[in-house]
Amino acid sequence: MELPRRRFLQLAASAATLPVQIYSASAADYPVRPVRIIVGIPPGLAPDVAARLIGPALSERFGQPVIVENRPGAGGLIGAQAVSSAAPDGHTLLLVLSGYAASAALYPSTTFNFVNDIAPVALIGNTPYLLILNQSLPAKTVPEFIAYAKANPGKINMASPGIGTAPHLAGELFKMMTGVDLVHVPYRESYMTGLLGGQVQVAFPAVAQAIGYINEGKLRALAVTETKRLDVLPEIPAMNEFVPGYDGSGWLAVGAPKGTPSDIIDRLNTEIKAVVADPKFRARLVSVGIEPVQMTPAQLGKLIEGATEKWAKVVKFAGVKAE
């Protein structure tokens, strides 16, 4: 027997609001089970280090395990896509890499759109990178390296953790602004062994990844990609001192699937801010080269929009093509 039209519409309206009611009800007790933070790059790299620092701190505040899960590939997009398709209930989060801001330019044909599919939650901090060299290269300063690279076009290999990642784009910005010709060599796993062994000669790793090798004298740091020097490495000049206007630093943040209720996003933002504000935690971030910064979800959204525009220009200029 067919339902009367009015009764059908009432049932349809109830069904349409059911997911919202479920998520709203769960928000008051969030989280109700373990929370996963998906990291789109291999273990051991700087963003992974940051995630493994923040995970236990959040776990203490939530009273639930916070599990860090690595899903590398496609410049981090495999992990990002996994989060975008997860239930928007705050139990699956994304460690947002600044390189994601270039994803629309790198993958124009994909159905995944970072800005549209991931909701900004909270900024963890800025992640300055370093221009570092294998010790076999003679250059001791940025001007010397630029001169050496121009004298040896196409003979110097530049490593990165993948096409479109923030370290790769920092290198492409350097190439664009200085006119040097470096050969990009993307790695699926950590490239530090290749850099130490001389298979690749140049890279733009995050401070956390390279600071130990620098302190041990195994690699040579020429500059930080910030517009100013870092407190943790005050003797290393800023790239801006030699290449005016250069700013190739990245940032780390937390995102959630689009559609995650605003009260859950606000709760996450509050908890992450509290973690980052803790003096001991801030010191740990600074010790691995991450500059703690706090933002509201709306402010983070504007940061992402600006970075998306900036890196799209670099991708176009360099002719970067995703694999």
Q: What DSSP string describes 201-212? A: -EE--BHHHHHH
Kindly report the number of other CB atoms within 10 A of residue 191's CB atom. 24
- Both tokens of 105, joined, read 């330019």
Residue 188 burial (10 A CB sphere; 0-12, 13-18, 19+): exposed
Question: What residues contact residue 164 under an 8 Å CB cut-off, 6+ apart?
Answer: 75, 76, 99, 102, 103, 106, 315, 320, 322
Assess if CATH 3.40.920.10 describes domain 31-128+249-318.
Answer: no
Residue 253 burial (10 A CB sphere; 0-12, 13-18, 19+): buried
Instruction: Tally the residues of the chain.
Output: 323
- Both tokens of 102, joined, read 């270039």
The ranges of the chain annotated as CATH 3.40.190.10 are 134-241
The torsion angle over the Cα atoms of residues 78, 80, 82 and 84, rounded to 10 degrees, is -140
What is the sign, positive or negative, of the torsion defined by CA atoms of 249, 151, 184, 222? negative
Q: What is the pLDDT of residue 38?
A: 97
Rounded Cα distance, 206 and 252, in Å:
11
Question: What residues contact residue 208 under an 8 Å CB cut-off, 6+ apart?
Answer: 46, 49, 50, 288, 289, 290
The ranges of the chain annotated as CATH 3.40.190.150 are 31-128+249-318
Q: What is the pLDDT of residue 166?
A: 85
- Both tokens of 231, joined, read 């407190």
Rounded Cα distance, 82 and 315, in Å:
24
Kindly report the number of other CB atoms within 10 A of residue 135's CB atom. 12
- Both tokens of 69, joined, read 């899960």
Question: What residues contact residue 29 under an 8 Å CB cut-off, 6+ apart?
Answer: none
Could you give the 3-state DSSP secondary structure of residue 40?
A: coil
Residue 36 and residue 58 in contact, taking contact as beta carbons nearer than 8 Å: no
Low-confidence ranges of the chain (pLDDT < 50): 1-25
Q: What is the pLDDT of residue 93?
A: 98
Question: What residues contact residue 199 under an 8 Å CB cut-off, 6+ apart?
Answer: 157
Rounded Cα distance, 43 and 45, in Å:
6
Q: What is the pLDDT of residue 72?
A: 87
CATH number of 134-241: 3.40.190.10
